[in-house]
Amino acid sequence: MKQTLRSIKHAVMGTYLQASQVYYTVAGKTVECNICQYKSNHLASDGWHQHVICPYCKSTVRHRLLMAAFSLLNEFGFDKLIENKSVLHFAPEKHLEKVMRSKAGSYKTADFLAEGYAYSRIDYNIDISAMKAIGDESFDCVIACDVLEHVPDHMGAIREVYRVLKPGGYCVFTVPQKDNLKQTIEDLSITSPQERERIFGQRDHLRIYGDDFVDMLTACGFAVTGIDEHFFSKEIIDQYVLFPPILSKHPLATNYRKVFFGKK
C-alpha cells in the first residue's frame, strides 16, 4: 500500500514538474538549476534555507557553485579537471554523477557505506581516511561534497586524497562552515545524535568547520582556491541561485558557501 501511494505521488510530481517546465520555457523563468536544467521562478526551501533547493535533482547552493566553477571558470573548467581525466567521486550526488560520468575520461564512485546510507552504484566501499584499495597517484580529480564532517580522522582523509591524486591533480571539497566561524569546532567525545545535531547541525556530523578549513588543506600540501559567488556575475548568481536569496537565520547555517579546489 505504502509503495503504491509512493508511486502515485512520484507520478503526480513527475507530471507536475514536466508541465511546469513547458510553462517556464514558454512564459520565461527567473531561476534555473545548472545541473538538471529545471526552470522556475523560485527554488524550493528546507528547514534552514528558503528557495535554494532544486525540487527535481535536490541540488543546493554548493552543488550549483561547483557546477558553475566547472562550466564557467577557465582555471577550473571541465576541460582542465574532468575531460579525458580519471575522476573519483565520493558519496556521489545522482545528478552530479550523471554530468561527471558523461564528461570524465574514466569515472569511479566511492563511499563508506554506513547505516542509513545505501547506494547501489558504488565502485569502492572504502573509508576515505584509509583508502587501501587505491594506489598512489591513481586519479586526476577527487570530488567530495560535504563528506569530511562525517569522518573521524578528517586530516587523515585529506592526506589520503593527496596521496591518491596524481601530481597536478585536483581535490574538490565542500564542508558545512558556520557563518563567521574562525576555528572549526570538533569534539569527538560527543556521541549522542541529539547533541551532535545541537552543536554541529546534524545527527551524524562530528564537527562544524570554520575558516581554518583552508589551512587544513594547505597543511596537507594543496594549493587552495575557495570559490564563492564573487567569482560570478550578478546575472549568473541570480539565474543559478549561487547564493541564498534570503539569508538563513539558523545559528549553524552556512550562508556563505565555498567550493574548495586544491591542486597537488
Residues that bind Zn ion (CB under 5 A): 33, 35-36, 38, 54, 56-57, 59
| Residue number with CB closer to Zn ion (56 or 222) | 56
Q: What angle do CA 262, 238, 81 make, to 5 degrees?
A: 25
Q: What angle do CA 212, 215, 220 make, to 5 degrees?
A: 140
Shortest distance in whole angstroms from residue 35 CB to Zn ion: 5
| Residue number with CB closer to Zn ion (54 or 66) | 54
* Residue 158 backbone dihedrals phi, psi, to 5 degrees: -65, -40
Shortest distance in whole angstroms from residue 125 CB to Zn ion: 27
Containing H/E element for 141? strand 139-145
| Residue number with CB closer to Zn ion (51 or 159) | 51
- Distance between CA atoms of residues 50 and 246, nearest Å: 6
Shortest distance in whole angstroms from residue 201 CB to Zn ion: 23
Q: What DSSP state is assigned to residue 248?
A: -
Shortest distance in whole angstroms from residue 241 CB to Zn ion: 10
| Residue number with CB closer to Zn ion (56 or 200) | 56
- Distance between CA atoms of residues 51 and 246, nearest Å: 8
| Residue number with CB closer to Zn ion (80 or 98) | 98
Give every strand in the sheet of 259-263, ordered side by side.
Answer: 124-125, 106-111, 86-90, 139-145, 165-174, 259-263, 223-227
Shortest distance in whole angstroms from residue 32 CB to Zn ion: 9
